[in-house]
């Protein structure tokens, strides 16, 4: 006979010795097999589980605007990643060809303007503004580059405020969801019907934590993307200014006068 419980192994060993004394074959049963595992299995079956979508929807209504911010962030990041490519803003073949042809005298003012207008890059707009001042003093050409450069810089900084706004608003909405969830938790505590029901308190705390996590999950990538694209725009603007200065030294009145001024003949002293 086998007994189940804490004394099961001892009783089982005593019965085995008795069976050997009586000349009967002893059957050795492992002690682990004599432990009843049914309560643990029943407890495991009673543990509630939730899927990922159920956990997300448990965060409350404030998760919807946070998800909307994440969608807007993805669209803006994709658009800026395409628009701020270096070969689109500063196409190297166009820059080298235009500067070389102006330097060699292969282009006049009208041909250079037509070449710039045929290109859709940002530096082509700056070059076109400078070429329209062809033959003017260097100060006027530089001022034209500065004015057009500001307009180009504003165009390249477009939608960067959206990233900064998402990085600022998402944690605030997560904090609002946290306050909302804690209010629900304390209202459940204050309710007489919630006495002895900790799951009502846990629901409010879970909602508070989910909204906070969602807000931070959207805000951190938004801030990183904003800093990355802001730095890229600054580098592109510096390169546009450097190439614009090269063009100033080629088309300003000072540059054209240097190239057109003939060399003064030298008089040989009579022997």
Is the pLDDT higher at 120 or at 255?
Answer: 120
Domain assignment present for 188: yes
- Spatial separation of the C-alpha atoms in residues 161 and 164, rounded to whole Å: 5
Number of domains in the chain: 1
Exposure pattern of 54-83 as b/e (b: 16+ CB <10 Å)? Answer: eeeeebbebbeebeebbebbeebbeebeee
Span 55-63, average pLDDT: 67
Span 125-130, average pLDDT: 92
Domain assignment present for 115: yes
Q: Note down the domain range covering 85.
A: 59-259
Span 233-245, average pLDDT: 93
Is the pLDDT higher at 49 or at 76?
Answer: 76
Residue 123: burial class (beta carbons within 10 Å; 0-12, 13-18, 19+):
buried
Domain assignment present for 180: yes
- Residue 99 pLDDT exceeds 70: yes
Do the Cβ atoms of 131 and 112 come closer than 8 Å? yes
Domain assignment present for 50: no
**Sign for the pseudo-dihedral over CA of 237, 239, 242, 243:** negative
Domain assignment present for 33: no
Domain assignment present for 270: no
- Spatial separation of the C-alpha atoms in residues 58 and 211, rounded to whole Å: 9
Domain assignment present for 41: no
Predicted local confidence at residue 94, as pLDDT? 92
Read off the tokens for 226: 């904003």
Query: What is the three-class DSSP state of 212?
Result: helix
């Amino acid at each position: 006979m086998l007994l189940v419980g804490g004394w099961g192994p001892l009783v089982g060993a005593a019965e085995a010795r008795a069976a050997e004394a009586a000349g009967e074959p002893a059957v050795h049963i492992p002690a682990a097999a004599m432990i009843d595992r049914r309560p643990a299995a029943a407890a495991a079956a009673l543990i509630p589980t939730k899927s990922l979508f159920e956990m997300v929807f448990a965060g409350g209504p404030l998760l919807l605007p946070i998800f909307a911010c994440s969608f807007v962030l993805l669209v803006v990041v994709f658009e800026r990643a395409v628009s701020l490519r270096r070969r689109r803003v500063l196409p190297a073949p166009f820059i080298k060809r235009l500067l070389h042809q102006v330097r060699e005298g292969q282009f006049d003012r009208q041909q250079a303007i037509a070449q710039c207008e045929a290109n859709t890059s940002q530096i082509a707009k700056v070059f076109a503004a400078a070429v329209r001042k062809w033959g003017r003093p260097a100060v006027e050409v530089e001022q034209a580059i500065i004015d057009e450069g500001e307009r180009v810089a504003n165009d390249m900084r477009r939608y960067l405020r959206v990233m900064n706004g998402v990085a600022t608003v998402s944690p605030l909405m997560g904090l609002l969801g946290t306050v909302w969830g804690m209010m629900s938790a304390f209202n459940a505590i204050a309710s007489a019907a919630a006495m002895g029901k900790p799951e009502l308190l846990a629901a409010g705390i879970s909602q508070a934590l989910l909204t906070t996590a969602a807000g931070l999950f959207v805000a951190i990538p938004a801030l990183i993307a904003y800093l990355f694209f802001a730095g890229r725009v600054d580098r592109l603007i510096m390169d546009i200014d450097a190439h614009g200065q090269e063009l100033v030294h080629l088309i300003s009145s000072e540059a054209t006068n240097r190239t057109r001024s003939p060399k003064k003949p030298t008089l040989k002293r009579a022997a």
